[in-house]
Amino acid sequence: MSGPGLQTTAAERTRERGAELLRLALIFGLPAVFIVIPLVTFLIYSFWRVEDGQLVREFGLGNYVEFLRSDSYRFVFGRTLFMSLQVTAINLVLGYAAALFISQRRGRTKYLMVLALIVPLLMSYIIKIYAMRGLLGTNGQLNQLLMAIGLLSEPSDLFLFNLTAVRITLSVVLLPFMILPIFVALERIPASFLHASADLGASPWQTFRLVTLPMSLPGAVAGAMFCYVLASGDFLAPELVGGTRGFTYGRAVFSQFGMAFNWPFGAALSVILLGVAMSVILLAGRLARSRWADR
């Protein structure tokens, strides 16, 4: 009885173990190779340097020191972070109002409005920026509109190729990222909570301040996080609508990998950006969890 039956199960077992190993290699190996290792390589790169067009693979803090010493890089860095804060603040106000309005609609209207928010989200990013550039230019439709209603007597170049253009463009393209998380948070508030609040004699304003606002805050935090992280690292919008006056940190990084060809310095600049992004994500996580969710 010892024969073939047992042997096949042994062979099967080996084959199954082989398949299991392959599966684990795919599941854990591929993300390790294509996500973790590149990020680590990138971090290491930021400590190397370029001399006479040659990469010198030696550890050193030179790139970071250069960033701290350079007034212009520090200035662009600060300006970009501040601009991202402005964009986030504007979008928080606009986005919250819109999300609140949409969440109060019913049935089909609500569904269509949400769909109308998702459609631009999946539209090509670069096309949206291009469309904004057409709108904002000296010959653009914004200028024509302002002239038609008499606010301007001649076309203004205020709206294109400067930081204002970058602010407006980023605000518009990032709006859905702000509205959708807030909307989702608002939708999760049980209607019974709002009824209970009204039954207990709270005015609509009190209900909003004491029930709706605190319960939707995690959504607002998530939206603000998306907005800030994406705005601070963006280089396409400034590149296309910023002109020379709208230079941002993202462009500074990008240029190191193009014309300037100083990859280690570019890596160091983006590690600093990564630090900002990580802190914002962690801060958002803490804000969304600790203070409001416990109530």
Interactions with other proteins, residue window 51-110 (CB under 8 A): 94-95, 97-98, 100-102, 104
- Could you list the beta-strand ranges (E) of the chain: 49-51, 54-56
Residue 275: count of CB within 10 angstroms of its CB: 10
Looking at the Cβ atoms of 131 and 162, the one nearer to other proteins is 131
Residue 166: count of CB within 10 angstroms of its CB: 29
> Least CB distance from residue 142 to other proteins, whole Å?
9
Looking at the Cβ atoms of 217 and 230, the one nearer to other proteins is 230
> Least CB distance from residue 193 to other proteins, whole Å?
19
Please measure the distance between the N-terminal and C-terminal CA atoms of the chain and give it in whole angstroms.
68
| Segment 215 to 244, residues that bind other proteins, using CB under 8 A | 229-230, 232-236, 239-240
| Segment 163 to 222, residues that bind other proteins, using CB under 8 A | 171-172, 175-176, 179, 203-204
- 55: enclosing H helix or E strand: strand 54-56
Looking at the Cβ atoms of 2 and 104, the one nearer to other proteins is 104
In degrees, to the nearest 5, what angle opens at C-alpha 254 toward C-alphas 31 and 284? 60
Mask: binding to other proteins, 115-154, rule CB under 8 A, as x and -?
xxxxxx-xxxxxxx-xxxxxx-xxxxx-xx----------
- Among residues 250, 262, 265, 288, the one that binds other proteins under rule CB under 8 A: 250
Looking at the Cβ atoms of 79 and 128, the one nearer to other proteins is 128
Rounded Cα distance between 211 and 132, Å, is: 38
Q: Which amino acid is at 229?
A: V
Per rule CB under 8 A, count of chain residues that contact other proteins: 79
* DSSP code, position 189: S
Quick check: 263 binds other proteins (CB under 8 A)? Answer: yes
> Least CB distance from residue 6 to other proteins, whole Å?
19
Looking at the Cβ atoms of 1 and 115, the one nearer to other proteins is 115
Annotate 96-164 with DSSP letters as a single string: HHHHHHHHTS-HHHHHHHHHHHHHHHTS-HHHHHHHHHHHHSTTSHHHHHHHHTTS-SS---TTSSSHH
